[in-house]
Structure 1
Amino acid sequence: MKRKIYLTILLSVALGYNSAAQIVAPNATLKLVADGFGFTEGPAADPNGNVFFTDQPNNRIWRYGTNGNLAIFMEPAGRANGLYVDPQGYLIACADERYELWRIGMNREVEKLAVNYRDSLFNGPNDVWVSPQGGIYFTDPYYQRDYWTRAVPDLAAEGLYRYRDGQVTRLDDQFKRPNGIVGTPDGKFLYVADIGDNKIYRYTLRKDGTIRDRHLFANQGSDGMTIDEKGNIYLTGKGIDVYNPSGEKIQHIDVPVNWTANVCFSGTNHDVLFITASDKVFTLQMAVKGAR
């Protein structure tokens, strides 16, 4: 793999719509961490700011440390896609190879949390978020993979699910193709992207972990999402678009690739945006921190 650690990309960051919304650090530029991957996805930071991300075509999970070290964390990795570090320090993984939801320890031991819904195999868990109350929320779209032997899904619906205490609950199936997901750190709201319909929905989370008040947040789809300390939502696809909590677009960040898959906040101060973008990964110094 060709690696270019901290190579500064001489591209200006497009700071778009509201100059008063200073979310990117002044004079910050994208830095290329490494390239030569198959397709990068699923960045998730641990409490110390180290990042785990996936290279699904090559069946690997990588770890990028706050010290700049980049190394393979796990291979094979269940064709993992979306990742999230839960409050206990486990890596929750959407293991797409056999349509499962995994919990991975730092010793790389795997526990299969969910393998089906009502005796039907999942379409392929894609992205995941863990609430402070411990509920694991994940999207389950159907993307036909070349490493599958099946050619049609078991489930007719492409839905939003919650896993808790060994039980899987379908929360919503009114999507064309759900994808990115993120919640607020207080556990009050959940955002889900319907990338197939170019929509972002916001739900209120009840105390029991179920959802209510499905609300159209933005007329834009997203592959992956993250949230900052001000409640701004970061959407990915053709670069990164940032929306404030009222659903107004306040900024666009150009990324020099055909597709930007996902983002998370990283670094010792949780103020570095880590970006998975096609065969590359980038960082960008921010003026805000990730929500915690």
Structure 2
Amino acid sequence: MHPRFQSALTALYPQLQTALQPILADPHFPAFLTPEQVTSLKNQTGMNVRELAFALLPLAASCALTPLSNFNVGALALGKSGHLWFGANMEFSGATMQQTVHAEQSAITHAWLRGETALEAITVNYTPCGHCRQFMNELNSGTALTIHLPGREPSSLADYLPDAFGPRDLAIQTLLLDPVDHGLTIKGDPLSQAALQAANRSYAPYSQALSGVALQTHDGAIFAGSYAENAAFNPSLPPLQAALILLNLSGRDVLQIQRAVLAEAPDAKLVQRQATLATLQALGCGSITTIPLI
């Protein structure tokens, strides 16, 4: 079991602890539950999926990286596939506050990059901030997405974001989590190919500035993240942060990145290079390559 889960696990209901033990015993537990695992946990504990998501919040929050605030937030995204995707907030010492990742963004991006194509609900232990509400509005679930908060009845995103403005107001047809492939090709090593494939999945309907980042850790594992744009611009998630979400939730250390590749067009309307370099340098990664998309 990864050490970060040990304290949180002991605080859970005894029945849930017992049911989770064989799942968390995997040292490479990927921070999500398959539909089969969700069904098994429900059967063993008598919980429904909403109750289970609430009970799992401490485990999700234990994945948080909070060297600045020391304030851990956990989130779980329920996919239409039946998967439960963990998410947690992330902060990076030595980088700007704008580089932080919110728990809801983490869970949503985790689901997206793992291949989930639609979400039904988000469970979080604190009320979503305006930034996250706007980020969620970019989803193909739209304002029908259900939000679960402790001590409250389920509500839709429409309740938390009244009179919303988003992609539908701008006639955007392909939304966040819709499968896409922009058809980009490039030759290169596996890390460059991973960055390219991430750029291929970019969601950038406003700028068309496709980009992807691939990170390689000291154990050789590769984690790739795609750019996710937003109608309000500022809540957009850079590709580096998307890759860092996967790396962190896999149990790897963000300070153990050996190599990084950024794939983007050099003449794009907006570029990720400078912000990517600055954040990676703050994380101690000195091997950063940019490959141009043509």
- TM-score, reference length from structure 2: 0.29
Of Structure 1 and Structure 2, which has the larger fraction of its residues in strand?
1
Q: Which has the higher contact order (CA 8 A, sep 6+)?
A: 1
- TM-score, reference length from structure 1: 0.29
Larger radius of gyration: 2
